[in-house]
Amino acid sequence: MRIGVFGGTFDPVHIGHLLLAETALVQAGLSKVLFMPAYIQPFKQGVQMSSDDDRIRMLNFATKDNPRFEVSTIECDKGGISYTIDSLRALREENAGAEICFLIGTDMFLNIEKWKDSDALISEFGFAVGVRPGYHTSEAEALAEKLKKTYGARIDFIDNPPIELSSTEIRQRVKDGDTIRYRVQETVRIYLLAREKEGQKRFEHTKRVVDLAVSMARRYGEDEYRTSVAALLHDYCKNPDGGVENDIGHAGMAADIAKNEFGIADEDLLNAIRYHTTGRAGMSRLEKILFLADTIEPGRTYDSISELRETCLKDLDKGVYTVLVELKAYLEKKGVAVSVDTEAAISECQGGKSWITEN
Ligand code: ATP
């Protein structure tokens, strides 16, 4: 078995990375590719970058459809400066009997002799070197010949489609409001745009909603991917300075953007976004999950929250009813009109559930 290990910062992972990995699977005869985000890349020390949490989440989204792609968090779990030699040795121990092959673009390969313990790295592990436009393949080939002679290294060249793209360019395009469609996998695009729109601080709430919604999806048998997308986009149009109007309208606006700008056609997913603040009569399982996850995510702190969390994790419908009633009481106290959808949802629960009168 030959396992490919693809190191990088992946801030964010883009299609240049994915195409190199996919091509290497075939051309280097790999059984799988482990994407291994660095915690701190030795040559990027002091450079501001996305958190390891964000980079790992995006990698998980980008690789989820490929059964032969995995994400290894070995360097992020360890923390500190990530030296490839240490990580590859640890992975070799974890995968006894497998041959480890390090995937690398030409730009990085040309500097390989400057890496920590490069002589050991080159003699102990195989390399699969991918084309990166702008970097001379002839220079890389000459270097490979030299390393083969000196260390008996195994170096394969991968004929991946040359994609002139970098994470730096993606980050810049997001900042400038330029399109990144097709440059990154679609969920990575949603992730990056939602983070940019909300700002890192508010996006932390979104991430907690994603996590809780996904764990509820697992528990209640809902599709985890649709749940994550709905949660990622639920507050896309929330504006903290937008007052009551935005409080009421942001969910519908986000559903419209999900449909028109992100091309999401799944009506149930769109409804989960549209009704996440009010609820409504006839909510689907996904709608209930997002409605609850937004209300009880771990960052929310109010008096009855732990009791509420327990209820929601035990019984979805009971949770929805409890939250609806608390929502109505809260709005009435604030003198804000209760949505007709919330009223309808409460009436529906009261009409059909015997446990409401029993408790
Ligand atoms: P940044 O712009 O932030 O420096 P990057 O796009 O170079 O990022 P990294 O995460 O640093 O991406 O790269 C990880 C690995 O992927 C490196 O080996 C690099 O050579 C390779 N790589 C990055 N972009 C491409 C691309 N467009 N084509 C082929 N290989 C690539």
Residue nearest to atom 26 of ligand 1 (CA): 16
How much distance in Å is there from the Cα of 158 to the middle of ligand 1? Answer: 15
- What is the Cα–Cα distance from 166 to 14, expressed in whole angstroms? 7
pLDDT score of 308: 87
Residue nearest to atom 8 of ligand 1 (CA): 167
* Ligand 1 near 82 CB (within 6 A): no
pLDDT score of 356: 45
Strand 99-105 with 32-37, pairing:
unpaired
How much distance in Å is there from the Cα of 20 to the middle of ligand 1? Answer: 10
Ligand 1 atom at minimum distance from 108 CA:
20
- In DSSP terms, which residues pair with 49 in a beta bridge? none
* Ligand 1 near 8 CB (within 6 A): yes
* Ligand 1 near 205 CB (within 6 A): no
Q: Which of 6, 9, 102, 121 to mutate to test the pocket of ligand 1 (most atoms within 8 A of CB)?
A: 9
Ligand 1 atom at minimum distance from 170 CA:
2
pLDDT score of 352: 63
Ligand 1 atom at minimum distance from 131 CA:
29
Ligand 1 atom at minimum distance from 15 CA:
27
Ligand 1 atom at minimum distance from 168 CA:
2
* Ligand 1 near 20 CB (within 6 A): yes
Q: Which of 13, 59, 108, 112 to mutate to test the pocket of ligand 1 (most atoms within 8 A of CB)?
A: 108
Which residues are within 8 A (CB) of 32 and not within 5 positions of it... i.e. 6 or more apart? 3, 4, 25, 68, 69, 70
* Ligand 1 near 16 CB (within 6 A): yes
| pLDDT tens-place values along the chain, 359 residues long | 999 999 999 999 999 999 999 999 999 999 999 999 999 999 999 899 999 999 999 999 999 999 999 999 999 999 999 999 999 999 999 999 999 999 999 999 999 999 999 999 999 999 999 999 988 889 999 999 999 999 999 999 999 999 999 999 999 999 999 999 999 999 999 999 999 999 999 999 999 999 999 999 999 999 999 999 999 999 999 988 888 778 889 999 999 999 999 999 999 999 999 999 999 999 999 999 999 999 999 998 877 888 888 888 899 999 999 999 999 999 999 998 999 999 999 999 987 654 444 33
CA dihedral 156, 161, 164, 170 (to 10 degrees): -100
- Do 262 and 233 form a contact (C-beta atoms < 8 A)? yes
Q: Minimal CA–CA distance to 316: which of 350, 290, 280, 354?
A: 290
* Ligand 1 near 58 CB (within 6 A): no
CA atoms within 13 A on the CB side of 141: 7
* Tokens found for residue 122: 């080159």
Q: Is the peptide bond before 12 cis (omega within 30 degrees of 0)?
A: yes
Give 5: exposed, middle or buried? Use CB within 10 Å, 0-12, 13-18, 19+: buried
* Domains along the chain with CATH numbers: 2-171 (3.40.50.620), 199-358 (1.10.3210.10)
Residue nearest to atom 20 of ligand 1 (CA): 105
